[in-house]
């Protein structure tokens, strides 16, 4: 009987692993099968020409640059807010403080807010401060979306830091700021993971940028120009009745996936390089 | 109050300060030492330390012994104000370091901690290279010149006997050292901030016998220059290296005095029981 239990449970676990792998392979297989033939150098290196969405020549460089600009801006923006906040609730406030509890609870709620709500809120905010759909609007909204993700994952790791290290630093006569700088080094791998999660989530999200970044066939050259994004570009190309354009959507999906992979690997590379001197 | 007074060992009455409740381990000059007066420490509603009165002689090793949970570590932490970080802890009474009450409002906590080199139970190297670990203290306390820092680092690594072992790899990560080496590194790091006192919180309890011996030898060498206060729960260690013993039990000082006297002719029943191993 026990043997049977063991066997069934093992089957369930293996089955779960197979399903996950299968889904991934199916998704990647589909986009590569449909997209690879359309993935030409022209797709990457050119902006849409006239009639691009009806099957004429051009590429999605507008969306590539737009997406990269937006996620870079949003990352910088949200790092500037997330890092101080996490440092504050973990290293400045006492461990059982009520304030840090409230902040963590708020983050939990923000974490669960759907991206379309951020999009709508971002849009309302932009109307309020008087900017139109633009690169800046997209950056602000995507930053709002990825901030809770970043804070939560950084916070999880900061909470796991052993108390010995802050104590050792303080007993050497460090100020809290000097202590925090060293602790941040220790948190670097955690920060990298947080950034990766945030990139993955932010760059692929369509709902946040739908109202706030707008869409354009050109490469944005300033913060108040509208910017195209890859998810929206994919959406528009898929909506075309022309089959060739639909296949280009899959090619764009490959580009998006590869961008995420490049960012992931480079973040891992830099964090491991950084950690060489650590452990 | 009367009950609290009963156990206090008054070996030398200090007429200058006008209180006869200080248990003085030996006649001390009041300029370069630690003196604790009527210290009560509470964590939330629980009283951890009860009416501690103690003077610690300079340039010697004072060991604080006692069973687990008697307040040894809490006491040690009051000396460099590490309780500041936990708001649940309330401290009443006075702790004079170099004739200055460190719990006075206008005393800078950084200055106080700079005077105390702390050696924790488990070595905790900073996430940086061996060199930077020792250089950290001098750097944050304002030494900028590369040459001066190099000199300091080499000096203290030599002092703790680590220099020859790490010579070729001072730029590699400190966490690769063995635990005994890490503890000596932490000692060097503490010494590099040029403290006057060294506090050890069961500093050898995580180490193997050989590393323990090295650290103990260092303490004996260090007492020529520093006043050393060690918390330990190994009686043999206290006997080996201490000049003075303070025995604590349930947050109170039961008995204190020079090592020989303490071990050979303890005055209190509780001390005799503890030394004979009736409880621990």
Asked whether the beta carbons of residue A278 and residue B87 sit closer than 8 angstroms, the reply is: no
**Number of domains observed in the structure of chain A:** 1
How many Cβ atoms are within 10 Å of A154's Cβ, its own excluded? 26
Asked whether the beta carbons of residue B173 and residue A178 sit closer than 8 angstroms, the reply is: no
Residue B236 per-residue DSSP state: H
* B44: contact with A, CB 8 A cutoff: no
Structure-token match 């009041």, residue found: B30
Among A95, A178, A185, select the one facing B127 at the smallest CB separation.
Answer: A185
Phi, psi (5° rounding) for residue B194?
Answer: 50, 65
Q: What residue ranges do the domains of chain B occupy? A: 2-275
* Structure confidence at residue B228 (pLDDT): 93
* CATH code, domain with A81: 1.10.3720.10
Percent of chain B with pLDDT over 90: 48
Tens of pLDDT, residue by residue over B6-50, are: 333 433 333 344 344 445 555 444 455 889 999 999 998 899 999
* Structure confidence at residue A185 (pLDDT): 86
Identify whether the C-beta of residue A183 lies closer than 8 Å to the C-beta of residue A111: no
- For residue B101, pLDDT over 70 is answered with yes
Residues of A with CB under 8 A from a CB of B: 94-96, 162, 164-175, 178, 182, 185-186, 276-279
Distance CA A262, CA A159 (A): 29
Residue B173 per-residue DSSP state: B
Among B124, B140, B171, select the one facing A164 at the smallest CB separation.
Answer: B124
Percent of chain B with pLDDT over 70: 88
DSSP A209-262: HHHHT---SS---STTS----HHHHHHHHHT-S-HHHHHHHHHHHHHHHHHHHH
Identify whether the C-beta of residue A178 lies closer than 8 Å to the C-beta of residue A109: no
Tens of pLDDT, residue by residue over B210-247, are: 889 989 999 999 999 899 999 998 888 999 999 999 99
Which domain range does residue A113 map to? 61-275
B117 min Cα distance to partner chain A (Å):
7
- Which residue stretches of chain A are H helix? 2-35, 41-45, 61-87, 98-112, 115-129, 135-160, 164-171, 176-186, 188-203, 207-212, 230-238, 243-275
Interface of B with A in 215-274 (CB under 8 A): none
pLDDT bin (cut points 50, 70, 90) of residue A179 is very high
Interface of B with A in 170-199 (CB under 8 A): 171-173, 175, 186, 189-190, 193
* Structure confidence at residue B241 (pLDDT): 92
* Structure confidence at residue B84 (pLDDT): 87
Between the alpha carbon of residue B272 and those of residues B9, B153, B255, B256, B258, the distances in Å are 15, 45, 10, 13, 15
A177 min Cα distance to partner chain B (Å):
11
B2 versus A193: the higher-pLDDT residue is: A193
Q: Is residue A191 part of a domain?
A: yes
Q: Is residue A230 part of a domain?
A: yes
* Structure confidence at residue B14 (pLDDT): 39
Between the alpha carbon of residue B204 and those of residues A69, B4, B194, B209, the distances in Å are 54, 32, 22, 9
A53 versus B127: the higher-pLDDT residue is: B127
Tens of pLDDT, residue by residue over B59-89, are: 899 999 998 888 899 999 999 898 888 888 9
Question: Which among A195-199, B31-35, B126-130 has the top mean pLDDT?
Answer: B126-130
* Structure confidence at residue B68 (pLDDT): 86
Interface of B with A in 24-43 (CB under 8 A): none
A98 min Cα distance to partner chain B (Å):
13
Superfamily of domain B2-275: P-loop containing nucleotide triphosphate hydrolases (3.40.50.300)
- For residue A99, pLDDT over 50 is answered with yes
Phi, psi (5° rounding) for residue B173?
Answer: -65, 140
Q: Is residue A255 part of a domain?
A: yes
C-alpha count within 13 angstroms, C-beta hemisphere, residue A85: 23
Q: Is residue A200 part of a domain?
A: yes
Distance CA B256, CA B272 (A): 13
B108 min Cα distance to partner chain A (Å):
10
Asked whether the beta carbons of residue B126 and residue A173 sit closer than 8 angstroms, the reply is: no
- Tell me the average pLDDT of chain A: 89
Asked whether the beta carbons of residue A167 and residue B82 sit closer than 8 angstroms, the reply is: yes
* Structure confidence at residue B32 (pLDDT): 58
Tens of pLDDT, residue by residue over A211-252, are: 899 888 888 888 889 999 999 999 999 988 888 888 899 999
* Structure confidence at residue A276 (pLDDT): 53
Average pLDDT over residues B187-206: 90
Report chain B residues whose CB lies below 8 A from the CB of A276. Answer: 173
Asked whether the beta carbons of residue A94 and residue B114 sit closer than 8 angstroms, the reply is: no
pLDDT bin (cut points 50, 70, 90) of residue B105 is confident
Regarding an ipTM greater than 0.85, the answer is: no
């Amino acid at each position: 009987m026990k043997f049977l239990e063991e066997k069934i449970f093992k089957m369930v676990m293996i089955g779960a692993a197979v399903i996950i792998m299968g889904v991934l392979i199916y998704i990647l297989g589909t986009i590569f099968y449909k997209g690879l033939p359309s993935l030409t150098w022209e797709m990457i290196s050119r902006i849409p020409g006239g009639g691009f969405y009806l099957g004429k020549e051009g590429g999605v460089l507008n969306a590539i640059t737009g997406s990269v600009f937006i996620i870079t801006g949003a990352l910088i923006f949200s790092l500037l807010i997330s890092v101080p906040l996490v440092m504050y609730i973990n290293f400045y406030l006492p461990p059982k403080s009520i304030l840090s509890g409230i902040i963590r609870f708020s983050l939990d709620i923000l974490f669960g807010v759907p991206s379309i709500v951020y999009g709508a809120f971002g849009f309302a905010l932009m109307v309020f401060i008087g900017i139109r759909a633009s690169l800046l609007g997209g950056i602000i909204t995507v930053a709002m979306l990825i901030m809770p993700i970043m804070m939560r994952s950084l916070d999880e790791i900061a909470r796991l830091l052993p108390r010995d290290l802050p104590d050792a630093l303080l007993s050497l006569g460090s100020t809290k700021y000097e202590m925090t700088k060293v602790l941040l080094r220790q948190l670097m791998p955690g920060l990298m993971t947080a950034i990766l999660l945030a990139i993955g989530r932010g760059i692929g999200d369509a709902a946040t940028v739908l109202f706030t970044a707008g869409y354009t066939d050109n490469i944005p050259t300033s913060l108040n120009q509208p910017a195209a994004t890859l998810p929206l570009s994919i959406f528009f190309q898929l909506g075309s009745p022309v089959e060739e354009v639909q296949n280009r959507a899959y090619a764009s999906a490959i580009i998006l996936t590869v961008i995420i992979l490049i960012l992931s690997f480079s973040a891992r590379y830099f964090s491991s390089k950084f950690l060489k001197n650590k452990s | 109050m009367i009950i609290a007074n009963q156990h206090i060992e008054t070996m030398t009455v200090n007429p200058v300060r006008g209180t006869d409740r200080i248990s003085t381990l030996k006649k001390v000059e009041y300029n370069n030492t630690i003196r604790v007066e009527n210290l009560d420490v509470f964590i939330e509603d629980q009283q951890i330390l009860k009416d501690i009165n103690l003077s610690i002689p300079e340039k010697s090793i004072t060991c604080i012994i006692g069973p687990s949970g008697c307040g040894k570590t809490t006491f040690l932490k009051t000396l460099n104000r590490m309780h500041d970080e936990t708001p649940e802890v309330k401290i009443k009474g006075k702790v004079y370091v170099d004739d200055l009450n460190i719990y006075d409002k206008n005393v800078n906590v950084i200055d106080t901690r700079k005077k105390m080199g702390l050696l924790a139970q488990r070595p905790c190297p900073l996430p940086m290279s061996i060199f930077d670990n020792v250089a950290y203290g001098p750097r944050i306390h304002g030494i900028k010149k590369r040459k001066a820092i190099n000199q300091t680092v080499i000096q203290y690594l030599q002092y703790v006997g680590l220099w020859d072992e790490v010579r070729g790899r001072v730029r590699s990560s400190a966490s690769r050292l063995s635990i005994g080496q890490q503890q000596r590194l932490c000692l060097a790091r503490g010494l590099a901030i040029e403290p006057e006192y060294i506090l050890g919180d069961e500093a050898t309890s995580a180490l193997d016998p050989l590393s323990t011996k090295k650290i103990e030898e260092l303490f004996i060498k260090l007492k020529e220059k520093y006043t050393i206060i060690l918390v330990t729960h190994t009686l043999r260690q206290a006997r080996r290296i201490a000049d003075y013993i303070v025995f604590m039990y349930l947050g109170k000082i039961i008995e204190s005095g020079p090592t020989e006297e303490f071990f050979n002719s303890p005055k209190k029943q509780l001390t005799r029981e503890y030394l004979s191993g009736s409880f621990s």
